[in-house]
Chain A
């Protein structure tokens, strides 16, 4: 079969607008995911038994189920259960938020607990309240150790958005699929889709590498 790379040019605008939706889902989802994961991670590391159990349950449920099932649940099951209808885009963002949040929580917890107890005690011994020890000592140190695994999760979440093809969000993979269905140019279209994903993940990697280099891991 003859390949015709010109079709890529023809459909590039459509693919790029799909990529834009992918980026939107990823960015909004991850901003929320970092907040949720930060809170759940703090609950795991320093919360009492009740807060710890709540966070633990959330994390285990999310990590124990596939993200496709999670988004299907949000989009199809939730309306039945709670009579709240959400549009596919919101369901997608929410799925990334909840899913990444669980993994980020474990990353945050690990980073917080990796900071030796001696440093907190040194802060407390100066007469600092616990929250200031967290804010000025443990937090900044944990943050440095957070960046590499967090970057990894960002890339995983970006690629996970392709699974939302199942609820019909017009992100990059779905766009590729639709174009394919009309012209059957599998090689050209899927190559183009792959390259666009690589550009997005590559850019993300580069940014993270730069941040990492700026911050000494202590």
Chain B
């Protein structure tokens, strides 16, 4: 069964229809890159997957659980779907290590020793173990985002959701974050990534979705659809981001 399954999923904000009966199945191991004009509903689609936005109608199944379930079911879904935000959102009162250990400690109830050991391993993985005792304010944007990725990985999710993870970063800092994401994809992590990085989409993505007005307008192989956009508006969009 698909790990993420949108079934005629709609989302309204008041009278504004942001997702319009979306049907979409994402399989384990896929790296889905989500693109589209501002306001087309990319973030909303992503945030519906981990229930940060509640869907209005239809259904959405994540790892066998419906996001329309109660709050404990929602928490279960969130432990299966880690999220990385554009603005990093690291906890400023905690060190890098404590940020990463936070999820296992407070969500999974791990012991301090166990959680910190695991956090250290994750910081090694994102190349920041030497920054373990720094506070977020003492780290560069790229470093903060790598810690944020480690924090999301610490709860051992089966899917990772990225909402424009490099948009707030200077060009020279984007690469270090994209590299970590590329490694993650190589390990077989299922990923849904909202990004404007078309090179990343081509090299790492297994699937590209172009959204428009809350619907999926294009869904195909990244290299194919970027090099030969099947629709005029996607063509215009690509010209603008490149």
A, B co-complexed: yes
Chain A interface residues toward B at CB < 8 A: 116, 118-119, 121-130, 132, 136-137, 140-141, 144, 218
A125-B52, A136-B106 in contact; A141/B83 too (CB < 8 A)? no
Given A118-B85, A122-B85, A127-B75 contact (CB < 8 Å): yes
* B188 on the A face (CB < 8 A): no
Q: Are B155 and A122 in contact (CB under 8 A)?
A: no
In the complex, per-residue mask of B11-30: 1 if CB is within 8 Å of any chain A CB, else 0: 00000000000000000000
Within B87-104, the residues touching A (CB, 8 Å) are: 87, 89-93, 102-103
B151: CB under 8 A from chain A? yes
If A132-B106, A136-B106, A218-B92 touch, whether A125 touches B87 (CB-CB below 8 Å) is no
**Which residue of chain A lies nearest to B82 when distances are taken between CB atoms in the complex?**
A125
A122 near B78 (CB under 8 angstroms)?
A: no
Would A128 and B75 be within 8 Å (CB), given that A119-B91, A140-B93, A218-B93 are in contact?
Answer: yes
Interface centre among A122, A129, A140 (most CB of B within 10 A): A122
Chain B residues lying within 8 Å of A127, measured Cβ to Cβ, are 75-76, 78-79, 103, 107, 155
Task: Determine whether B9 belongs to the interface, using a CB cutoff of 8 Å to chain A.
Answer: no
The chain B residue with its CB closest to the CB of A135 is: B106
- Verify A128–B106 contact, CB threshold 8 A: yes
- Min CB–CB distance B78 → chain A (angstroms): 4
| Interface pair B89/A126, CB less than 8 Å apart | no
User: Are B102 and A126 in contact, CB atoms less than 8 angstroms apart?
Assistant: yes
Q: In the docked arrangement, what's the CA distance between A116 and B155, Å? A: 23
* A123 nearest in chain B by CB position: B91
**Contact residues in B for A122 (Cβ distance below 8 Å):** 83, 85, 89-91, 148, 151
Please give me the residue from chain B that is nearest to A115 by CB atom. B92
